[in-house]
Amino acid sequence: MVVCGHIGLTPQSSGQLGGHKAQGRTAESAQDLVEDALAIESAGAQLLLLEAVPPEVAGFIARRLVIPVYSIAQARSATGSC
């Protein structure tokens, strides 16, 4: 079974995240995304999906992880984008 992690804008949490908008736009929230990405990889996910994450943050995460990182909406710095 392949496990895919998903961070950034998660529709089920959009109300708690301030609506449907890009995540990781402040240094603090970008650091939170990096920590989440590392934890997801450590937990055994085989790939990571970033949604509405700025390109700089997505690129940083993609360079830090061994697993492929794919991006939806905004980032072209990941392993792939949709």
Task: Give the residue numbers marked as catalytic.
Answer: 51
Nearest CA to 72 out of 55, 24, 4, 26 is that of 55
**Calpha distance 82→34 (Å, rounded):** 20
The answer to whether 54 and 29 have CB atoms below 8 angstroms apart is no
